[in-house]
């Protein structure tokens, strides 16, 4: 829907800015939610925090139901046939049944779940790309764009794998080491997530304005991605001086590190949504956006595996350096491909 606003040639340079503004809306809930639930969890208990979240979601559904009648009737330009719909439903039911059986028999358990999830997502990604690249209804130009998207997709995955550590080591560090006291008030741990969303809200508009002002002179998507993953990986180095010195980190310094990570996020996450709509074949616009979210899924799964296999208690510095190395290596490799990818993506901007 957002991408459709920028289909005309004169509007195409504004697409990245448009998705940056759209990204603000996604993060408003991410900012407000932890403020309330974090306070309740910290002062009353987890049940009240979860209860408040449930009330908030129920309110959202109620509000949506009131305005639903005012929405235009949805149109599906390329609907599935009845046979295809039945096949999809049957496959979905079979997969759910197979998963339930595997869990009940112990074939899938907590020890092997991350590996199975990672394998499943990888297979889904391969299936998506294979379907797009072998479909006769996808033009040769579209296939060229999709091939160019593969290294971008892998970069998105590596970015989210590194970014995910803000929910692992960074959260533990914020809880145990950061000086969270402001006057007589102690900032709840859950507010760390609100801090990150607040930076997104504040800086998405600035990034959108910058992309708009630069117009066709703005960096191409591959260069934005390379800068994003490098900046995010380098941001984690900010923890090392305080760990080495054995001193608590001021909350203001932690907020600045989160800001740096967020700048990287804003150079890749909304831009990834944008590029997925730019290169989408006419018959597969929804599937390309879905493929972009699979990168998110694969990245988070990789992030969990990275923490599980790469983190050693007592060697936090080594892990933060590893995050930097991953970000720097990914950014450098993509940088080498920038000229080739820009040529392959001609006609999408």
- Please tell me the predicted confidence (pLDDT) of residue 155: 96
CA distances from 179 to 163, 174, 183, 277, 338 (A): 22, 8, 11, 43, 42
Confidence (pTM): 0.84
Q: Identify whether 127 is part of a domain.
A: no
Q: Identify whether 114 is part of a domain.
A: no
Q: Give me the number of domains the chain comprises.
A: 1
- Please tell me the predicted confidence (pLDDT) of residue 152: 95
Gap between the Cα atoms of 187 and 175, Å rounded = 10
Q: Identify whether 152 is part of a domain.
A: yes
Q: Identify whether 36 is part of a domain.
A: no
Q: Identify whether 236 is part of a domain.
A: yes
- Please tell me the predicted confidence (pLDDT) of residue 278: 85
What three-state secondary structure class fits 182?
strand
What three-state secondary structure class fits 187?
coil
CA 36 to chain centroid, in Å, comes to 23
CB burial string 208-223: b at 16+ within 10 A, e below: beebbeeeeebbebbb
> Residue 322's domain is classified under what CATH number?
1.20.1250.20
Q: Identify whether 95 is part of a domain.
A: no
What three-state secondary structure class fits 181?
strand
What three-state secondary structure class fits 156?
helix
pLDDT in tens, the chain (349 residues): 555 555 555 555 556 666 677 777 777 777 777 777 777 777 787 777 778 788 888 888 888 788 877 776 666 666 667 777 788 788 889 988 988 888 888 888 877 887 888 888 899 899 889 988 998 888 888 999 999 999 999 999 999 999 999 989 998 899 888 988 888 888 888 888 888 889 988 888 888 888 888 877 888 999 999 999 999 999 999 999 999 988 999 999 999 999 999 999 999 988 888 888 888 888 888 888 888 889 988 999 999 889 988 888 888 899 999 999 999 999 999 999 999 999 998 877 6
Give me 169's structure tokens. 């080591």
Alpha helices in 106-139 (DSSP H): 113-134
Q: Identify whether 71 is part of a domain.
A: no
Tally the C-alpha atoms within 13 A of residue 63's C-alpha that lie toward its C-beta: 6
- Quickly count: other Cβ atoms within 10 Å of residue 97's Cβ: 10
- Please tell me the predicted confidence (pLDDT) of residue 239: 94
Can you give the residue range of the structural domain that contains 204?
A: 3-28+135-344
DSSP labels, 280-338: --GGGHHHHHHHHHHHHHHHHHHHHHHHHHH--TT-HHHHHHHHHHHHHHHHHHHHHHH
- Please tell me the predicted confidence (pLDDT) of residue 249: 92
Q: Identify whether 174 is part of a domain.
A: yes
- Please tell me the predicted confidence (pLDDT) of residue 187: 86
């Amino acid at each position: 829907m957002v991408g459709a606003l920028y289909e005309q040639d004169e509007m195409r340079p504004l697409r990245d800015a448009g998705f940056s503004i759209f990204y603000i809306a996604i993060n408003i809930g991410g900012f407000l939610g932890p403020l309330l639930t974090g306070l309740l969890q910290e002062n009353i208990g987890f049940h009240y925090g979860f209860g408040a979240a449930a009330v908030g979601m129920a309110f959202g559904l109620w509000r949506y139901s009131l305005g639903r009648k005012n929405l235009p009737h949805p149109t599906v330009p390329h609907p599935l046939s009845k046979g295809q719909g039945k096949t999809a439903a049957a496959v979905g039911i079979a997969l759910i049944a197979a998963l339930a059986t595997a869990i009940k028999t112990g074939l899938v358990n907590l020890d092997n779940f991350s590996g199975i999830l990672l394998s499943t997502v990888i297979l889904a990604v391969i299936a998506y790309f294979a379907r797009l690249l072998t479909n006769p209804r996808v033009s040769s130009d579209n296939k060229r764009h999709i091939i160019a998207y593969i290294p971008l997709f892998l970069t998105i995955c590596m970015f989210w794998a590194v970014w995910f550590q803000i929910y692992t080591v960074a959260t533990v560090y914020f809880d145990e080491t950061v000086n969270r006291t402001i006057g007589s008030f102690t900032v709840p741990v859950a507010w760390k997530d609100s801090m990150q969303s607040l930076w997104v809200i504040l800086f998405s508009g600035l990034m959108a304005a910058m992309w708009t002002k630069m117009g066709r002179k703005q960096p191409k998507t591959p260069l934005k991605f390379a800068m994003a993953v490098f900046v995010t990986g380098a941001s984690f180095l900010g923890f090392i001086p305080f760990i080495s010195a054995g001193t608590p980190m001021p909350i203001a310094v932690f907020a600045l590190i989160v800001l740096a990570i967020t700048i990287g996020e804003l150079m890749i996450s909304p831009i990834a949504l944008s590029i997925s709509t730019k290169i989408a074949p006419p018959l597969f616009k929804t599937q390309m956006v879905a493929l972009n979210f699979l990168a998110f899924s694969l990245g988070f799964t990789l992030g969990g595996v990275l923490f599980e296999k790469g983190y050693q208690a007592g060697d936090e510095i080594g892990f933060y350096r590893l995050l930097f190395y991953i970000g720097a290596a990914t950014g450098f490799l993509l940088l080498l491909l920038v000229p080739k990818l820009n040529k392959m993506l001609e006609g999408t901007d």
